[in-house]
Amino acid sequence: MVLSRTFVVFPLALLSLLNLGTLRSSELEEKPPAEPLGLKPVPWPKDNPYSASKAELGRLLYFDKRLSADGTVSCATCHKRECGFSDCKEIAVGINGHKGTRHSPTIINAAYYTHFFWDGRVDSLEEQCKGPIANTKEMAALKDAHEAHRECVNKVKSIAGYQPLFKKAFGVDQPTMEEIAQAIATFERTILSGNSPYDRYKAGDSSALTAEEIRGMAIYKKTGCVNCHGGFNFADDRFHNIGVGMDQKDPDPGRSAITGNPKDFGAFKTPTLRDTANASPYMHDGSLKTLEAVVEFYDKGGVPNKNLHPLIRPLHLSKEEKEALVSFLKALSGEGWQHVQEPGSFPQ
């Protein structure tokens, strides 16, 4: 009897363990990719958690030009991998050659932002994804945002090949704008940059940075760059007036157009400096072509105006100090986004 009971119990216990192992294997498949060295865990939204099927669907939608009104512009048009997920242009260009008003910021490490667009007008990556689809200077032909979104949704619904992908990712085969935005946002949260020479140096590899880069890091801290471009993402997710464009006839109001606060006039969101060497030109208007030009701009103290940030002042750096600072900025280029490729084909 004892042997019999042992024989019966053992297979049941083994079966339980096997089931548990299968469950854990399934759970592992739904875990997002590991963040590169130097980054914190991506804050995945509770209402839009990661799934591999959702990320892959988002990749397809991100590169699919059919989401635009005339089928010529996709998210990737203004956020190209080869341009550091910016677009290598001063100012973004949308459908029918319509020129926008600002430079396309990189989406690398956008997963960590709490405000989006240069003026911070939305507070989630999902809402950011909806913006260009409804903007007539980017992807829309209709001025009414709701109508533009409806047109995009109807296009996606008309593509039979997308239906099983939405079914797998969301449990629906007739998506709304919410599911489209959530899928794209999920994909964009996987576009990360870490494990740079700087990260490896901070982790204990003393050979990861050159002597010049180490000197540049000291200058970066001494001059106060770290006050706005601090933390693991080298961005404070806040808004500052550093004088860019303030010498123009009609300066871009920046954040003040959203808040209505005159003190926010000319203030723009601090971008990450990770992989900044791959995302030129720079500033919200794309007016500075190189990192050397950016350093020169700060060295001169920006452009004086009534809202200029108090920390923006002439730095009086030497030629060698400027070169070291640029070298350090280049050492912030890392890994975690280079694997992204445009799909070879799209759902039909």
Using CA atoms, how far apart are residues 40 and 305, in angstroms rounded to an integer? Answer: 36
Give Cα separations from 280 to 154, 284, 338 (angstroms). Answer: 36, 11, 17
* Sign of the dihedral defined by the CA atoms of residues 272, 277, 278, 283, in that order: positive
> Distances from the Cα of 1 to the Cαs of 5, 6, 7, 11, 281, in angstroms?
6, 8, 10, 16, 80
What is the Cα–Cα distance from 337 to 328, expressed in whole angstroms? 20
Beta bridge partners of 267: 254
Tell me how far apart the alpha carbons of residues 190 and 58 are, in angstroms, rounded to a whole number: 10
Annotated ligand binding at 75? The verdict is yes
- DSSP codes, 290-312: SHHHHHHHHHTT----TT--TT-
Which segments of 85-196 does DSSP mark as H helices, in order?
Answer: 125-133, 145-157, 163-170, 177-188
Give the closest residue to 74 by CA, choosing from 87, 61, 82, 65.
65
Tell whether residue 78 is among the known ligand binding residues. yes
Q: Which residues are annotated as a binding site?
A: 75, 78-79, 225, 228-229
Q: Which residues are annotated as a binding site for heme c?
A: 75, 78-79, 225, 228-229
